[in-house]
Amino acid sequence: MLQSLLRCIKLKRTVLLLIFIITVLLTVNFQFVSKLDYSILEIKHPEIDESCNCTKILKQDREEMERSKLQAMTKSFRNETQITEKQYIEWTSNCEKFKITRKYLTFPLSSEEEEFPLAYSIVIHHKIQNFERLLRAIYAPQNFYCIHVDNKSAPLFQAAVAGIVSCFDNVVISSKLENVVYASWSRVQADINCMRDLYNMSPRWKYFINLCGQDFPIKTNLEIVRKLKNLNGKNNLETEKMPAAKEIRWKKRFKIVKNAIVKTNINKTPPPIKTPVYSGGAYILVLRKFVQYVLTDPTVQQFIEWSKDTYSPDEFLWATLQRQSKAPGSIPKSYRYDVTDVNSISRLVKWVQFEGQESDGAMYPPCDGQHIRAVCVYGVGDLSWMLQQPQLFANKFDSDMDYFAVYCLEQHLRHKALTALD
C-alpha cells in the first residue's frame, strides 16, 4: 500500500515537473516567436532608410530633414517609391502575399482594442498610394471600414481600390457611390452612405470616424481607443456659434453647374430645427447611437433634405446635430459648451492665416510643407510638433509632396504600437 502511494506521489511529481518544463518551453518559445513576428511587422525598408533617418527627423535634426527633402525630389527616388494602380491590381491578385509584404496587422494587438472596435468611413477620389498607406496605418481586424470612391474617379483607380478592399473581410466599398463635388451636399451624402453600410455591417463597433484620402493618424489604435473611452459616452467634433459671414452659405440656395457649386439669388426657408445653425467642421467622432439617430430620426431627415442645396453643409450639419438634446452624445446649446477646431480631437489642421511664431501669439509654427487652399500639406519638419498634439488625426498629407513625412510617421506609429506589446 505504502509503495503504491509512493509510486503515485512520484508519478504526480513527474507529471508536475513535465507540466512545468513544457510551460517554460512554451513561454520562452512564444516570447521568441512573438518578438520575431513583431520585428517583421515594423515599417522598415532598408533602401529607403539609407536615404533618411526618421529618428533624427523626429528629433528635429535640421540637416537630416533637408537631406530627406533633397532626396525625395530626385527622379530616381520617386521612381523607386511610387506605387501605381496597376501594381496594386497585380499585388492584390494574391491577397495573403499582399497583406504579408505590405505588413498589415492581421491580429488584434490587445484585448482592450479587440473589445472596442471602431468604424471608419474613408472618402477618396485619387492618389491610390496615399489611400493604401492610410488604410494600412489604421487597419485592425476588429475594426470596420467603408470606402467611398468618387463615382467620377478614373476606372483604373477604382479597380485598384476594389483589389485592395477584396483582401479584407472587414473592408467594403460603399454600396452607393456619389459624384462628389467640392463644398456640395454630395460630400456629406458619401459619409451618410458609409454610415448606413457600417451600421448594417456589425452591431459591435463603438464609434464612427470619417476620414479623407489626405488624412493620417497621429495616434496608435490603442491610443485612439483610450481617447474615445475618455469621452465618457460623448461625441467629439467642432461646434460653435455661426459667424455672420458664413450665414449666406445656408440662407441662399446653391446649385451644381458643370461639376462646381454656384450660388443663386433664391432665399431659403428657415431650417426645420428649433436650435440655431452652428458652425463646425467636416470631421467627426460620434457614437454608434448617434449614427442611428442620423439615419432614422424624422427631424434629422427633414434637416438633411433642407441642407441639400446649401454651400459646404458638412461644416454646419454635424455641428448643429451635436447641439440637439435628442442626439446621443450631444452637448448643451449654451455657447459656454462651444468646441473650436483647436479643442476638438477629431482633426489637426494648420491654416496659413494662423501660422507664425507661437511666442508672438500664433496658434502654431509655420508649415514645413506647402499650402493648398490655405491648408498646410505637412512636411517632415511638422512631425515633431504634430506628435505632441492631442488630436487623433492630421490633415493634409501627400506622399507626392513629401514622401518622408508619411513614411516617418507611419514608421513611428507602427513601432510605438508594437513596443506596447512588450
pLDDT tens digits for 17-38?
Answer: 444 444 444 444 444 444 445 8
Report the 3 state secondary structure along the chain: CHHHHHHHHHHHHHHHHHHHHHHHHHHHHHHHHHHHHHHHCCCCCHHHHCCCCHHHHHCCCHHHHHHHHHHHHCHHHHHHHCCCHHHHHHHCCCHHHHHHHCCCCCCCCCHHHHCCCEEEEEEECCCHHHHHHHHHHHCCCCCEEEEEECCCCCHHHHHHHHHHHCCCCCEEECCCCCCCCCCCHHHHHHHHHHHHHHHHHCCCCCEEEEEECCEEECCCHHHHHHHHHCCCCCCECCEECCCHHHCHHHHEEEEEECCEEEEEEEECCCCCCCCCCCEECCCCEEEHHHHHHHHHCHHHHHHHHHHCCCCCHHHCHHHHHCCCCCCCCCCCCCHHHCECCCCCCCCEECEHHHECCHHHCCCECCCCCEEECCEEECCHHHHHHHCCCCCCEEECCCCCCCHHHHHHHHHHHHHHHHHCCC
Tell me what the mean pLDDT of segment 55-75 comes to.
95
C-beta atoms surrounding 33 within 10 Å: 10
Chain-centre distance of CA 418, in angstroms? 19
Tell me what the mean pLDDT of segment 400-413 comes to.
97
Q: Which amino acid is at 374?
A: A
C-beta atoms surrounding 417 within 10 Å: 22
Confidence band of 2 (pLDDT split at 50, 70, 90) = very low
**pTM above the 0.85 mark?**
yes
C-beta atoms surrounding 237 within 10 Å: 25
pLDDT tens digits for 185-224?
Answer: 999 999 999 999 999 999 999 999 999 999 999 999 999 9
pLDDT of residue 145: 99
pLDDT of residue 330: 98
Q: Which three cell numbers stand for residue 134?
A: 492610410
Tell me what the mean pLDDT of segment 281-307 comes to.
98
Q: How far is CA 37 from CA 14, 320, 369, 414, 418, in A?
A: 34, 47, 35, 13, 10
pLDDT tens digits for 149-189?
Answer: 999 999 999 999 999 999 999 999 999 999 999 999 999 99
Q: Which residues are catalytic?
A: 315
Q: How far apart are the first and last CA of the chain?
A: 51
Give me the percent of the chain exceeding a pLDDT of 90.
89
Q: Which three cell numbers stand for residue 400?
A: 507626392
pLDDT of residue 284: 98
Beta bridge partners of 212: 123
Q: How far apart (Å, rounded) are the C-alpha atoms in residues 260 and 169?
A: 36
Q: How far is CA 122 from CA 74, 109, 178, in A?
A: 31, 23, 13
Tell me which residue of 333, 201, 229 sits closest to 278, measured CA to CA: 333
For 239, residues 6+ apart whose C-beta sits below 8 A from its C-beta are 278, 279, 280, 318, 319, 320, 322, 323, 331, 338, 339
Peptide bond preceding 396 in cis form (omega within 30 of 0): yes
Residue with cell 490655405: 374
pLDDT tens digits for 90-139?
Answer: 999 999 999 999 999 999 999 999 999 999 999 999 999 999 999 999 99
pLDDT of residue 37: 55
What are the structural domain ranges in the chain?
A: 37-81+348-390+392-422, 239-321
Confidence band of 51 (pLDDT split at 50, 70, 90) = confident
pLDDT tens digits for 357-400?
Answer: 988 999 999 999 999 999 999 999 999 999 999 999 999 999 99
Whether 322 and 256 have beta carbons less than 8 Å apart is answered as no
pLDDT value at 8 more than 70: no
Q: How far apart (Å, rounded) are the C-alpha atoms in residues 268 and 396?
A: 33
Confidence band of 422 (pLDDT split at 50, 70, 90) = low
Beta bridge partners of 377: 370
Q: How far apart (Å, rounded) are the C-alpha atoms in residues 40 and 106?
A: 13
Question: Phi then psi for 202, rounded to 5 degrees?
Answer: -160, 145
pLDDT value at 266 more than 90: yes
